Chain A
Amino acid sequence: MAGGDRALSPAGTVRRGAAGGAEARDRHVRLGLGLAASLLLAGLLGGAFLVLLLTSDAVPDPLAVLADPYLRAVTGFTLLQAGLSALLSVAGGVPLGLALHRTRFAGRALVLRLLLLPQVLPVLVGALGIVAVWGFNGLVSDALAALGLARINVYGLAGILLAHAFFNLPLVARMVVGALDGVPAERWKLAGQLGLGRLATFRIVEAPALRAVLPGAFGLVFMLCATSFTLVLVLGGGPAASTLQVAIYKALSLDFAAGNAVALCLVQVSLTALVLLALSRLPGREAGGFTLGAAPRRYDRPSRLASAADTAVLFLGLLFVGAPFAAILLGGLGSDLGPLLANPAVHRATLTSLVVGLCAASLAVLLSLALLAAGRERPGSAFEIGPSLVLVVPPVVVGAGWFLVLRQVTDVYAAAPYVVVATNAAMSVPFVTRIVGPALAAAHAGQDRLARSLGLFGLARWRLVDWPAARRPLTLAFAFAFALSLGDLGAIALFGSPDFQTLPFLLYQRLGSYRSTDGEGLALLLGVVCLALMLLAERGAAPSVRRPLA
């Protein structure tokens, strides 16, 4: 990962130089930076609740909370939909991943890239695509009606599951491909030489690789769906299908019931903490995230029937993932794009989104680098685990906490930009550290001794050693954080106002507005910006991210 610089590392010539003082100072600086970043993150995520717990009487009685039937129903539904969504994503992602790995065809890299897209597509835009395909007047319903069958009701559990599968099934498929790519080439060779059939290959070669990755994949999707906000808000269809996240938002924005909101937040955080704890005990490598899946050779010769089945699975999978994109594109082009692009509200929202995204991405990268720098000094410490803990406190919960605290001291809506930037930055940190961490670690492992023997410390070391190795993944991470912020509705939902609107916020408002097709046009605009950003960054980052053949 460290590029071609590795030849510079002459092992064995390292001597402990007289740079001990600089080294100690360097370590202190790293730890200091890490500590500052950790405190900042912890303060942002937990500070609001600490203040609330200490100062207000909004703290609910835990027994009363557990006895509340509405809260129990919401918690139950949160778990139910997350479990079903994870099952569905795995059940669809595994065959798709297997078929993708077994089949060689010209556009395979392109397909893998397509499977990356749902991860960076703003959720709200995806939801619109889902409705266009699966809604009451969608393509599928039209086809069913033409056959004399009933149309699909996409609101409620069915819609939530469909949308979660759209976003997470490709993730699972990529993880499966990644796991299969990790199988040593000798095994494929041996399987080919032994002439193992499809079933035997699956049992002996593929299944063990899947076993290693599936529990983690299931857990990850479960976690993502248990904290799902936007999709449930748009497709849930009201209180009957509400997750904790949505209930928190409604308790604050509709009821203005601070006590209820705090109770719901506490339940949400305990729940995600438990899931994350369980997740950390599961086996499962983080493969398939951003690699392009360099193809190891397979030597099995599938029967005609088997390859037809693979082709069918591929076709269906790509149709499922691709159709909403096509619907967004067509819907957007069919809307009144001209006036929309000339609309000052759209200009303002675009500018606000870009500025918020840039600030959030910069802050996320800075925080992540500080944490990574300190994590190198203290492997396995809170600096390394910290970023994952961010996932325990979803953006809506962070927003709700600060909303309640800030309104006691100031005009909430005036503080909105800061809270939204900080929350968006925090939620990107786990992803940024995961993308940049390995590259920095590799640079460290390969060149630490050389750098120390040369007396390289501080900024000089950063410039000469870390920066060249981290530049490309940093670009990718920055773009990812940028896209995440551009598409986020969770943080802005509570803080948005006519004076402070981002594109997703504007889109959420326009979606509902009667006699307006602005929604489709805005969705296309937002989707194109995010996807272009990611594709550009991925292209720039590709050489260092693409794994060499094992």
Chain B
Amino acid sequence: MRMSRSPLLPLLAAVFGLAAPAAAQEKPVLTVYTYDSFAAEWGPGPKIEAAFEETCACDLNFVGLADGVAILNRLRLEGATSPADLALGMTTDMVPEMKASGLFAPSGVDVSKTVVPGNFRDDTFVPFDYSYLAVMVDTQSGAAVPTSFDDLVNGDPSQKIAIQDPRSSTPGLGLMLWMKAVYGDEAAAKWKQLSNRILTVTPGWSESYNLFTKGEVPLVLSYTTSEAYHVIEEGTDRYKAAAFAEGQYVQVEVAGRLTGSKNPELAARFLAFILTPEFQNVIPTTNWAYPVIADAAPLPEAFAALPKVEKPLAIDPETVAANREAWTAEWLAAIGR
């Protein structure tokens, strides 16, 4: 019993010291919460960081979280103490909820020239790319490519799909809304049916896409543009995006700056930077999504072969905000047992 507790305290302090972000730096640090595939070394993060740091005399720091919805959850938990200046990677579906949270400050960016499906316009959130949700199929697995939602729901239950949790992930939330847009009140019953085909529900897009590319699962919820990634980066047409007769759900991704930011002007400059070609031209072949400005560089050839989306589907964000909790509970009850 002679040991004293005191030697532990410096050790703990050492951890704290390590844990605390380096404070005494000359350049201001701009912290951006995003999803992990955006911040990853092969994602758009490093290129955008390099381009912005050339002009800003600052240190841009992307922090990758599980997925888009998790960003909002995290900001809510941290409240006013959040170290983040900006958040990037939520979707327009979440905008009313985000505005009601009071966490975000007006962007000060003119978004009137942006080109996105549904003509999203907002004074707080800046759209940075858009894409269409799609089920990706590994054609070497022997799984049939579904041509409609009914096809997917009624398909061979031994051919599994990996999806994402709508409580943490934007494509997961998108799928929930997509089902609602297609099936309305029947959505819960269809989820129950689909649950026979669900291999796993992951917190973010990366985990499920990882399972898909590793061959653990033949179908995954992703985007039509994922097909272009495999063609351009891997030179293979093994993976196909399934075009659904009912139409594809649109996902417009947005960024916003936080009221608690210690660098509000720098944050506003970053939001403006989003709508420049330096940012936008990085998007198609790193984030594998469509740019939102008219004068972006032409898209690579592989994009032309992607499924044409004739019927972009979306649910009015106000309706989403009013029903998200109830719909999530309905989803949970339908796919849990």
Contacts and interface: CB of A to CB of B under 8 A. Distances in A.
A128 to B, nearest CB: 12
B335 A238 contact: yes
A357 to B, nearest CB: 11
Given A155-B200, A499-B19, A462 B1 contact: yes
Nearest to B62: A498
A514 interface: yes
Most chain-A Cβ atoms within 10 A of its Cβ — which of B14, B206, B217? B206
Contact of A417 (B1, B16, B70, B215): B16
Interface string A40-74: 00000000000000000000000000000110011
A70 B336 contact: yes
Contacts of B199: 153, 155, 237
A70 B73 contact: no
Interface string A485-502: 000000000000011100
B206 A254 contact: no
Given A70-B336, A366-B3, A238 B215 contact: no
B206 A417 contact: no
Interface string A403-428: 00001001111101110010000000
A481 interface: no
Contacts of A119: none
Interface string B167-208: 110000000000000000000000000010011111111110
B210 interface: yes
A363 B203 contact: no
A256 B77 contact: yes
B319 to A, nearest CB: 20
A173 B14 CA distance: 42
A interface, by DSSP: helix, strand, loop or mixed?
helix
B167 A512 contact: no
B12 A359 contact: yes
Interface string A122-156: 00000000000001110000000000001001011
Interface stretch (B35-43, B127-135, B236-244, B279-287): B35-43
A155 B201 CA distance: 10
B200 A238 contact: yes
Contacts of B3: 362, 366
A9 interface: no
A363 B8 contact: yes
Given A155-B199, A254-B73, A239 B19 contact: no
Interface stretch (A213-221, A271-279, A347-355): A347-355
B204 A512 contact: yes
A351 B16 CA distance: 12
B161 to A, nearest CB: 11
A2 to B, nearest CB: 19
Nearest to B40: A513
Contacts of A156: 200
Contact of B216 (A137, A412, A515, A516): A137
Nearest to A250: B167
Given A33-B1, A238-B335, A514-B213, A254 B70 contact: yes
A156 B336 CA distance: 11
A309 interface: no
Interface string A525-538: 00000000000000
B298 interface: no
Interface in B296-315: none
Interface in A229-255: 236-240, 242, 250, 253-255
Please name the 8 residue pairs, one residue from A and one from B, whose CB atoms are nearest each other, closest first. A238-B201, A512-B207, A237-B200, A254-B167, A411-B81, A239-B336, A514-B206, A136-B216
Interface of B: 1-3, 5, 8, 11-12, 14-16, 18-21, 36-37, 40, 42, 63-64, 69-70, 73, 76-79, 81, 158, 160, 165, 167-168, 195, 198-207, 209-210, 213-217, 328-329, 332-333, 335-337
29 contacts: A69-B333, A70-B332, A73-B336, A137-B215, A153-B160, A153-B199, A237-B198, A239-B336, A240-B195, A240-B198, A240-B201, A240-B337, A253-B70, A254-B165, A255-B167, A358-B11, A359-B12, A363-B5, A366-B3, A369-B1, A412-B78, A421-B12, A509-B36, A512-B206, A512-B207, A513-B36, A513-B40, A514-B40, A515-B40
